[in-house]
A and B are shown apart, each in its own frame.
Chain A
Amino acid sequence: MTGTTLPAPRAPFRPQTLIPYAVLVLATLPILVLYVWLTYSSFFPRIEGFRPVGPFTLENWRFLWDPGSVDQLRNKPAIIPLTINTFLFAISTSVVVVLISSMAGYALSRLPFPGRRMFLGGVLLLHSFPSVTLLIATFIVLRQLGLYDRLLGVILVKAAFELPFGVWIMKGFFDTVPWELEMAALVDGASRLRTWWRIVMPLVKPGLLALGILTFVQGWNEFILPFVFMPSGSQQTLSTFVRAILGEGRFVDYGLLTAVGLYYVAPVLVLFVVAQDQLMRVYAGGVKG
């Protein structure tokens, strides 16, 4: 596809060429409408269908500066500690996954050791294995380890669930690094660990960044694990908070809900726009339906 291909002759304009665009726009419209609607619903007192009722307002956002005045938020944890919890959860998961995956990925890429094939096979197997089926047993494991209802426990479970993907991706990145530099360092007497950290890791920075961002987003978004394994209010994350507001019956204050929802999703959207290339690079392998 590179090199000497001739530029395609410019076809005369025909209305048919617009058909694929029209179909794409129509098919994508529901998604676009949902997000646009989430955004503007959060700025009106009440929305009926597409029609805002009442004037533009920041009322729905007062959970940020005056949570005490919002009925639905009484007896609920405050938004700032929740945000910090969610951030801590996401960033710790991300760091643990990136670090452990790059150690294992390096070993699998470079070191011959007994059981290597088995481990690689296991990693691939677990990558497609639906880990959510193990939730009940994981609950028992956490109870036995004394990590139930603690942020650390959920971080470890989430990290373990993301690990097979991380190891596989990092192995791929290490496979592309030429070995001459490493060999020179090793011949000069540097240890494996030092060579890995000082020489090889800097060479796979784009990979580390991509995996780090992706795992951060997965952690930030995670719902089931905090929902099941951190039932105490003080340990909640934004996802369980949103679910708690939503779960309060049919007469939910949707203005508040959309504002909190937009607050929660906004960092991810920003990250997606900024780091789209990195995310796209690793996304196809990381998805679980």
Chain B
Amino acid sequence: MNSTALLFMGPAALLVILFFFVPVVITLGLSLTDAATATGLSNWKWIGLDNYDQIARGSFTMLIIRNTIFYVLVTLAFNVVVGLGIALLSTHVEAKAGGFFRALWLLPRISPSAVYAIMWVWAAAAPPFGIMNDVLSPVGVAPRDWLNTDPWVIVILVNGFVGASLGMLVFTSAINSIPEDLFRAARVDGASAWQIVRRITLPLIRWPVLFVLVYQTMSLMASYEYILLTTNGGPGLYTTEVWSLWAFHTALSNYYGNLEFGLGAAMAAGLVVIGLVVSFTMLRLFRFDELVSDPRVEIT
């Protein structure tokens, strides 16, 4: 590598090595140790696959796997269906109005997660405070303390309203890149709005839809920020605990005071490996080669 390239690439390479490569290796290595607050970062020892064994035999493991699958599937469905709906509707109406609605849908994503979470926590509060009860009791839903009685509803709504904007943005730009002639021809032939969506729009945006499905599945599996801020896995023991939050609680933040880095790393290792495999597959799938072709202009 010549010195100019090294100069330009150096800082980026350093950060990537320090905070991506090294952590991946550490995660895998750490998962084979008993490192914890109790052992400190110097007195730990290698324990082979004991951590993985402990996870496999853990009495909460199945519950947490079920929670994770439920959370990922339901939130994913909400995100993709709502994202697609907003994209279709907002490209169907006047351009200005459509842009306005999309901007509103971006609000949750551009707001600090802590503030966005407070709004939901309070909206879900027990009578007489929360507005969810005010809105839902006229349609026959008994007032309740949502975070305690139906925590999943809140977890899914909180994540759903944030996550839908990803699909919305990707689908909107895909829809906008469909040649207008196709729609016009269909209308001339007397196609209904639904037929146009079903026969023209949806088939043409199937790749973006696939991309969002894969990407969202992976990021939902790995993300726990909004759960941490709303239910923190509760109420009670592990009611809304998902895998990534479990790893976080085990290794970095719990009430018992003993942070088990090794065990937590073993939990995270699965997610890291899934993340790497899925990201790599996405590179292959979404035409990586075209994106990285060599620079056409060589002037050195």
Does A pair with B?
Answer: yes
Contact B221 A160 (CB under 8 A): no
Interface residues on A, range: 35 or more
Contact B122 A133 (CB under 8 A): no
Which residue of the partner chain, among A112, A156, A228, A243, contacts B15 with CB atoms under 8 Å?
A: A156
- Residue on B with the closest CB to A139? B252
Minimum distance in angstroms from B15 CB to a CB of chain A: 4
Contact A28 B105 (CB under 8 A): yes
Known: A139-B251, A193-B7. 6 other contacts (CB 8 A): A109-B295, A125-B279, A129-B279, A160-B15, A287-B109, A289-B162
- Cβ proximity bits B81-109 to A, threshold 8 Å, 1 near / 0 not: 01001100110110001000101111111
* B:180-225 near A, CB below 8 Å: 180, 184, 215-216, 218-225
- Residue on A with the closest CB to B247? A136
Most A Cβ at <10 Å: residue of B19, B169, B261, B280: B19
- Binding stretch for chain B, among A17-25, A56-64, A69-77: A17-25
Chain A residues in 8 Å Cβ range of B51: none
* A:21-38 near B, CB below 8 Å: 21, 23-24, 27-28, 30-35, 37-38
* B:233-287 near A, CB below 8 Å: 244, 247-248, 251-253, 261, 264-265, 268, 271-272, 275-276, 278-280, 282-283
- A238 CA / B109 CA spacing, docked (Å): 17
- Residue on A with the closest CB to B292? A120
| CB of B52 within 8 Å of the partner chain | no
Can you list 7 A-B contacts with CB-CB less than 8 angstroms, sorted by A residue number?
Answer: A20-B92, A104-B13, A112-B298, A124-B288, A128-B278, A141-B26, A268-B111
- Cβ proximity bits B56-94 to A, threshold 8 Å, 1 near / 0 not: 000000000000000000000001001001100110110
The 6 tightest CB contacts between A and B, nearest first, are: A130-B222, A160-B19, A137-B23, A107-B8, A104-B12, A49-B134
Contact B19 A113 (CB under 8 A): no
| CB of B149 within 8 Å of the partner chain | no
